Structure 1
Amino acid sequence: MTLKQLEAFYWAAKLGSFSVAAARLHVTQSSLSKRIAELEDDLGKALFDRTGQRSVITDAGERLLEHAAQILEIESRIRSDLDMSGALRGSCRFGISELVASTWFPGLVARVRELHPHLVLQPQVDLTLNLERKLERGELDFAIIPGPSSSSNLSQEKVGELAYQWMASPERLASGTVLTARHFAEHPVITLSAEAGLTLAFEKWAAEQKLEIPRALVCNSLSALIALVIAGVGISLFPRSYVAPLVRAGKLAELASQPAPHNLSYYFQWRTGDTRAVVRSLRTVTMEEADFSVSSPLWPGEARIG
């Protein structure tokens, strides 16, 4: 019995897929299957039932799973204790929202590079629900996205909160306009795709006001959404701090609503039970570096869009 065999078995069992487990461990699927087969031969027990279309963990595998988790955790602690610098190695795949990517994410990368120069970062920028699905499937180590998540397979820790406000081009609506049902009927509403955390918050807000708001346009990019509103195509919800330079430059006008839109919280999410050092360490760094009060550097100075 070797650590590599236990590692192969553990991740195949936890992720429910030999192919996903192989990708996580950076080995071929045949290599992963060979390690598991060797472990089964050594123990004299089948750990997976391979008679169906998908391999299903057996009773013996279920009993081994907890032991394997404990052994791999001990290995992680040994490596951390013996490496006085605490530096991590290997690669880390994680998900972030577009807003995180274009604000405080560069600072996070710089800090991680300083602490863990041999850790290869592989960020994926996507919408909330897409990243949650990848995280649940084990394709990502963690994600920093709007939440909270309702999945029992994911654990989470809040890292920040953003205030949102309705906005439009000043040519379409004057700053301070108090939106009513008539405004939403007369002015096109532009939103992100249904997979976005902001869209979920928007739909909840509209439902509470018993408003049926027809959406004129849906896209999957916050930057594109902002450009469309500046161009006068319609109105939308934006994080106030993120677009503050555009408001100061007169490109966007803040609109009022009763009640105000919900704030949107961001969370560091990881698979429940994943106690690996890379997840623990980057969660700590994220909590220290996250700053949702900053505006996007995409709008330098007083913003030169348009």
Structure 2
Amino acid sequence: MVTFKQIEALYWISKLGSFNAAATQLHTTQSAVSKRIQELEGRFDVEIFDRSRRSACLTPKGEEVLRSAQLLLDTRNTLLAQLGAREVMFRRLRLGVTELTALTWLPILISSLRKQFPQLEIEPEVGLSQALYERLVDNTIDLIIVPDTFGDTRFMMTPLGKIENAWMFASGVMQAERSYTLSEIAEQTVIAQGKDSGMGIVYSQWFLANGVETPKVIVCSNLVAQIGLTVSGLGVSYLPKECLSHLVKKKILRIAKTSPRLPIMNYVAMYRPAQPIDFHGEVARMCQECCDFSRLVLQAPN
């Protein structure tokens, strides 16, 4: 039988880095904490911590178990808080997302949130990354889903998914059969997102790091419009490869092979840490489960 004391021991050892620190956190002795882990390992004949190292390091199996343990502890804490509350909890979620999220997996997330929290009032906002980040700083929004560009230690950041972008263009803009250098791409009219877009920030810095200037730029911070301008043959643009693959298959858009390749975009959920009930952390973990940038909501099923 697995107990919450064993689960708590596993969680705090991994979080604090030692059995002794976990014992202090749990107001018990180091030997008691060690015994809980030994009982847990013995019950299932698995090794959770790598004892060949000086510090408390999880084995691959331990890493796997830790994720479930954290979810279990969060669920327990939420249940205890709900039972102790006089009113319905979690009435409102102010959720900020970029356009790409809204066009792909936001409906999946909203559906999951409504099932998990039937009384939850969701206030969504679709905007550019910089504006959403400023709202989070001002505490006028609860959680944002944006590219990982801010690195602000005041906020928790849960990794979600990765976006592979590609240089795309319409027939007639460039030759599709050859590869291009970054300098050759920069000679084209580049349809780019602006300085308030997370993707625009990353790629502007990337161009500078590679010593390349883009003299002919059409700034467009609306993804749908950016796609439309590219399909219209007005220039070359960096666009999400997977969710636009149907346009590539139909040869409405073509992909330019380039060296170096565009950097991968990492998306995160950012939110303020909260105690004792980490509701926004639970929402962030639901974002992890729902995250899928592979398909546009407007795209007809195959």
TM over 0.5: yes
Q: CA deviation at 1:112?
A: 0.8
Q: CA deviation at 1:194?
A: 0.8
Q: Cα deviation per residue 1:154-185 (whole Å; 9 max; x = unaligned)? A: 22011111111111112212335422356335
Alignment of 1:249-288 (within 5 A): 249-273=250-274, 276-288=277-289
Give 5+ residue unaligned stretches, structure 2. 1-76
TM-score by length of 1: 0.67
Q: Cα deviation per residue 1:134-163 (whole Å; 9 max; x = unaligned)? A: 001101111111014222322201111111
1:275 to 1:203, Cα distance in 2 relative to 1, 3 A:
farther
Alignment of 1:21-60 (within 5 A): none
Cα separation, 2, equivalents of 1:275 and 1:102: 34
Partner of 2:297: 297
Cα separation, 2, equivalents of 1:184 and 1:296: 27
Pick which of 114-123 and 280-289 moved more: 280-289
State the secondary structure of the residue aligned to 1:194: coil
1:176 to 1:161, Cα distance in 2 relative to 1, 3 A:
farther
Cα separation, 2, equivalents of 1:301 and 1:250: 19
Cα separation, 1, equivalents of 2:276 and 2:243: 33
Q: CA deviation at 1:89?
A: 3.6
1:278 to 1:215, Cα distance in 2 relative to 1, 3 A:
farther
Cα separation, 1, equivalents of 2:147 and 2:187: 30
State the secondary structure of the residue aligned to 1:157: strand
Answer yes or no: is the 8 Å Cα contact 1:162–1:264 preserved in 2.
yes
Cα separation, 1, equivalents of 2:215 and 2:83: 57
Give 5+ residue unaligned stretches, structure 1. 1-74
Q: Cα deviation per residue 1:194-222 (whole Å; 9 max; x = unaligned)? A: 11111122112212321111242112200
Q: Cα deviation per residue 1:26-51 (whole Å; 9 max; x = unaligned)? A: xxxxxxxxxxxxxxxxxxxxxxxxxx
Answer yes or no: is the 8 Å Cα contact 1:96–1:123 preserved in 2.
yes
Q: Cα deviation per residue 1:274-305 (whole Å; 9 max; x = unaligned)? A: 6644312211211111123x221334368xxx
Cα separation, 2, equivalents of 1:184 and 1:214: 11
Partner of 1:246: 247
Letter in 1 for 2:295: S
Q: CA deviation at 1:254?
A: 0.3
Letter in 2 for 1:80: Q
Aligned Cα RMSD in Å? 2.3
Partner of 1:228: 229
1:103 to 1:181, Cα distance in 2 relative to 1, 3 A:
closer
Answer yes or no: is the 8 Å Cα contact 2:170–2:232 preserved in 1.
yes
Cα separation, 2, equivalents of 1:170 and 1:197: 28
Partner of 1:47: none
Identity of aligned residues (%): 23
Cα separation, 1, equivalents of 2:167 and 2:148: 20
State the secondary structure of the residue aligned to 1:285: helix
State the secondary structure of the residue aligned to 1:266: strand
Letter in 2 for 1:271: R
Q: CA deviation at 1:108?
A: 0.6
Q: Are residue 207 (structure 1) and residue 208 (structure 2) matched?
A: yes
Alignment of 1:146-157 (within 5 A): 146-157=147-158
Letter in 2 for 1:143: I
State the secondary structure of the residue aligned to 2:289: helix
- What is the total number of aligned residue pairs between the two structures? 224
Partner of 2:81: 79
Answer yes or no: is the 8 Å Cα contact 1:245–1:301 preserved in 2.
no
Q: CA deviation at 1:223?
A: 0.6
1:281 to 1:272, Cα distance in 2 relative to 1, 3 A:
closer
Cα separation, 2, equivalents of 1:78 and 1:175: 60
Cα separation, 1, equivalents of 2:136 and 2:275: 11
State the secondary structure of the residue aligned to 2:162: strand
Q: CA deviation at 1:117?
A: 1.1
1:275 to 1:130, Cα distance in 2 relative to 1, 3 A:
farther
Cα separation, 2, equivalents of 1:301 and 1:174: 31
Q: CA deviation at 1:256?
A: 1.3
State the secondary structure of the residue aligned to 1:241: coil
Q: CA deviation at 1:260?
A: 0.3
Partner of 2:56: none
State the secondary structure of the residue aligned to 2:269: strand
Partner of 1:100: 101
Partner of 1:111: 112
Q: Cα deviation per residue 1:77-122 (whole Å; 9 max; x = unaligned)? A: 7433458xxx854111011011111111101111111111110111
Pick which of 183-192 and 91-100 moved more: 183-192
